[in-house]
Copies of this chain bind each other. A is one copy, B any other.
Amino acid sequence: MLIALLPGDGIGPEVITQAKRVLDAVGLDGLIYEEAPVGGAAYKASGHPLPSETLDLAKRADAILFGAVGDPDCDALERHLRPEQAILGLRKELELFANLRPATLFPELAGASALRPEIATQIDLMIVRELNGDVYFGEKGMRKTADGKREGYDIMSYNEDEVRRIAHVGFKTAMARDQRLCSVDKANVLETSQLWRDVVIEVASEYPDIQLSHMYVDNCAMQLVRNPGQFDVIVTGNLFGDILSDQASMCAGSIGMLPSASLDSGGKGLYEPIHGSAPDIAGQGKANPLATILSAAMMLRYSLSMAEAADQIEAAVASALAAGARSADLGGTMSTSDMGDAVIAAL
């Protein structure tokens, strides 16, 4: 099976290197790796953040392990040439519409959460974020108002098919967990949210065992601080999911710990840490590679049917933490490769 390695920008290459080392150490048969540039790195090398060879590789591959994109050098480029367009392009071109973002605290890290330990340790939630629609992909641009002023605009929208397919992922995810699904929207203000809520309620009739609730996004942002333990699965749109999942990650300890999967309808997926390219610490060996290592584990489980190997990696991460492995974000002094070593030693 072919795995595309797309390291990208900033700390991306460093964390991908460690994840690849861990995959090698597990000793899996039949995996082939191919690497390609993406993001600012690809733009600098060849003038485009998602070169056609990279997109081709991603299409051919059975799964994609992705580092991070984002490069301040590219801030002044036209939008379609910026690093972020690479990840947005991959999500759209490969129809990776379902983004799974677990937020769970490793008990060893209760001390690293900004929340009180008794609140933090109760967190065990999964955010299911829609990834192919919303204001991210609507028509957008700069125009002039009637009196000649500059105006920026972006159209937010969802149609019923788009909502239905992600709602099903939300309900199915809840079936496999604690049977509770909270749909997050802003239906008191937005028509897009009203359609979202209507369709989620329609889909609910197919899942009579699931306890469905609805919450406004502002309230949810508050509840994720106040009492994150109340949530099992949250399903929401692209923009709200972006904000809430970053917030939830921090409740659960460090953003350096959290993996994600972006799946199409057939089980093919792109796997990436939810942190960004962190240009400020790039190249210094300070990045925590565990989010990427855990993303590799998700890849084995969801796209490659290697659940046992995934369990092995996750257990090794837990053991490494229990043995005291801590990178800077976790309050420790270990380097990126030290952290990789610790996981490999625990395997």
What are 29 sample pairs from A and B whose C-beta atoms fall under 8 A apart? A82-B188, A84-B188, A115-B115, A135-B190, A141-B191, A149-B159, A150-B160, A151-B157, A151-B159, A151-B195, A153-B192, A154-B156, A154-B192, A155-B155, A217-B242, A218-B243, A218-B245, A218-B247, A219-B246, A221-B243, A221-B247, A222-B246, A222-B255, A223-B250, A224-B247, A225-B225, A225-B247, A226-B250, A247-B247
A158 contacts which chain B residues (CB < 8 A)? Answer: 151-152
Q: Which residues of B contact A306 (CB under 8 A)?
A: none
The verdict on A60 contacting chain B, using a C-beta distance below 8 Å, is no
Interface string of A81-96 (1 = CB under 8 A from B): 0101000100000000
Return A156 CB to nearest CB of chain B, in Å: 5
**Interface size for chain A: under 10, 10 to 19, 20 to 34, or 35 or more residues?**
35 or more
Residue picked from A153, A158, A161, most chain B C-beta under 10 Å: A153
Task: Report the separation of the CA atoms of residues A141 and B239 in the bound assembly, to the nearest whole angstrom.
Answer: 19
Give the CA-CA distance A247 to B217 in the complex, in Å.
10
The interface of chain A, by Cβ under 8 A from chain B, is 70, 79, 82, 84, 88, 114-116, 119, 135-136, 138, 140-142, 145, 149-161, 186, 188-196, 198-199, 217-219, 221-227, 239-240, 242-247, 249-251, 255, 276
| Additional A-B contacts beyond A114-B116, A135-B190 (4; CB < 8 A) | A151-B159, A152-B158, A156-B156, A218-B242
Assess the A222–B194 pair: CB atoms within 8 A: no
